[in-house]
Amino acid sequence: MPMKIKQLSIFLENKSGRLTEVTEVLASAQINISAFSIADTADYGILRMIVSKPEQAEQLLKAKGFSVHITEVIGLVVPNEPGGLHRALQILSSEGISLEYMYAFALSDRATVIIRTEAVEQTITALQKHKMELLKASDIYKV
Amino acid sequence: MKWNEHIECMDREQLTKLQNERLSAMVERLYYNVPFYRKQFQKNGIEPGDIKNVDQLRKLPFTTKQDLRDNYPFGLFAVPATDVVRLHASSGTTGKPTVVGYTRKDLDIWSEVMARTLTCAGAGKTDVLHVAYGYGLFTGGLGVHYGAEKVGATVIPMSGGNTQRQLQLMKDFGSTILACTPSYALFLAEAMAEAGMPIESFKLKAGVFGAEPWTEEMRREIESKLKIKAIDIYGLSEVVGPGVASECMDQCGLHVFEDHFIPEIIDPKTLEVLPYGQIGELVFTCVTKEALPLLRYRTRDLTVLNAEKCSCGRTIVRMKKCLGRSDDMLIIRGVNVFPSQIETVLLEMNETKPHYLLIVDRVNNLDVLEVWVEVDGQLFSDEIRKLEELKKIIQHNIESVLGINASVKLVEPKTIERSEGKAKRVIDKRKLT
């Protein structure tokens, strides 16, 4: 399904310079980062990123010795206004779908929310049923 | 099938009686024939005739590899040189070679225990046995060879090397049983695939693999690639060579041929004998051999003994697949810890063994253990919740296996230093001065 977006998940220890090594790999391969977030604990973190060439980035980072996974996520577009996110979350909640994690970026009148749920396909179907706008994989890699 | 059902399925009482008689006679022979042992007996006030049963074994001194080196080459032999019909020796890469000798009767004993071993793996008259263990000073090749002839199988004395020829003859001669090291078995499997020889063109049904440590993971790989049953066999030249113990087709521990080699498990630090069921260093006493009957020989191999009757019907004691070397043992808060135990915990959680490192330190006079585990492949989840859960499970399992708590730290792949492809397993930062 073209609505599924490939996200890179990278295991990082909390050591200075590690994040720079990741960005360096991507920069030198001319790979663009359109969104990212970091989840952190006391000794390690998980870096999650949407990049322009996910498979190539995965290979390059693996070759550098990083633990990398490609995880499927959804890019949901909501209006950048009060209640914009609320409506989308209500849909998921009423369908009984729980979120694993999410992160967002807003640009002028629209906001994009990257969401990961336990059931990606079911989530896409539910959101489309309610006419919510989803980003195509091909679009977000170019953002 | 059993080669010697009378012995292999003997009831414990009868077997103990046999061991008692043999041990008592052996101690007497050693007293009169080996000055090295006589001196030690005299030092400990042991007279010939004092030792009447296996429970008294613990009064006797241990023998180590160093003793063999100190008495190089024939100092521990218990018979005149004229009675020795064969010598074997280790390569001696870590010092003087270890020399072992056999009388005519010793070779018969060796053939007997190897016949039992091969029968354990299902070998019989109709089998074609491909022996790819090295022939020569190493005991592997000739040990398997004599046993295979004794069971009446057709022996192909291939020895090691020349892989293409190995495959060709194995195929053309219709070999049914392969004997070699487990790593060579995997190497052969890969060579087969590379040469485009389908496994269906071979008649292999089983393999007897030993002479080096191997994991259950390797066993699964060998079994699926060669489509055979992979049987673990155990032996060391100081005791006899291959043929000390062997798995049966049920693959639930190795049957120790204890009518010839009496096993004990000891704590490698205190040298106390441990009860069956506890992990410790394996020690063997040869009670029938003539040329080199070693007393309480410390193998440095770690295992657990189990006296329960096997589902195959054998009653002789079983040892677990070797769990590591006693030289690696750590004592943490008074508990003996072997890196291999932690390895077992990690293996249970994952198909492939993750790299790990144990860091032991002493903080406020208390030993602390930190276990680093590299997060790679299957272990990696992109959810913090699952990674934290993984940490907790590893911590919990280590505690239930070792009885001590450890803090687990997840680290990136390649964080743990590798030297020559082998990872360093332990860093002990305690300064015990």
Whether the pLDDT of residue A50 is over 90: the answer is: yes
Under 8 Å between Cβ of B337 and B276: no
Q: What span, in angstroms and rounded, lies between the C-alpha atoms of A140 and A134?
A: 10
Q: Note the CATH number of domain B1-327.
A: 3.40.50.12780
Identify the DSSP state of B91.
-
Q: What span, in angstroms and rounded, lies between the C-alpha atoms of B139 and B137?
A: 6
- What pLDDT, on the 0 to 100 scale, is given for residue B421? 46
Query: Residue ranges of the domains in chain B?
Result: 1-327, 329-428
Instruction: Give how far A109 is from chain B: nearest CA, Å.
Output: 31
B47 Cβ under 8 Å from any chain A Cβ: no
- What is the mean pLDDT for each group of 10 consecutive residues in chain B (433 residues)? 96 96 96 96 92 95 93 96 94 75 98 98 97 93 97 96 93 97 89 93 96 83 95 96 97 97 96 94 97 96 95 97 83 83 80 79 88 85 89 91 89 75 74 59
B383 Cβ under 8 Å from any chain A Cβ: yes
Top residue of B372, B382, B410 to mutate, by most chain A CBs within 10 Å, is B382
List the one residue out of B394, B403, B396 whose CA is nearest residue B367. Answer: B403
The domains located in chain A, with CATH, are 4-71 (3.30.2130.10), 73-140 (3.30.2130.10)
Top residue of A11, A47, A120 to mutate, by most chain B CBs within 10 Å, is A11
CB atoms A65 and B414 under 8 Å: yes
Helix/strand/coil percent split, chain A, to 5: 30, 40, 25
Torsion of CA B236, B187, B133, B231, to 10 degrees: 60
Q: Least CB-CB distance to A9: which of B376, B382, B409?
A: B382
Q: Least CB-CB distance to A39: which of B384, B409, B411?
A: B384
In tens, the pLDDT along A93-141 reads 999 999 999 999 887 788 889 999 989 999 999 999 999 999 888 877 7
Nearest residue of A to residue B377, measured between CA atoms: A67
Which ipTM value was assigned to this complex?
0.81
Mean pLDDT (chain A, rounded)? 90
Percentage of residues in chain A with pLDDT exceeding 70?
A: 98
Identify the DSSP state of A29.
T
| Three-class SS state of A74 | strand
Q: Which fold has domain B329-428?
A: GMP Synthetase; Chain A, domain 3 (3.30.300)
CB atoms within 10 A of CB B20: 17
CB atoms B411 and A13 under 8 Å: yes
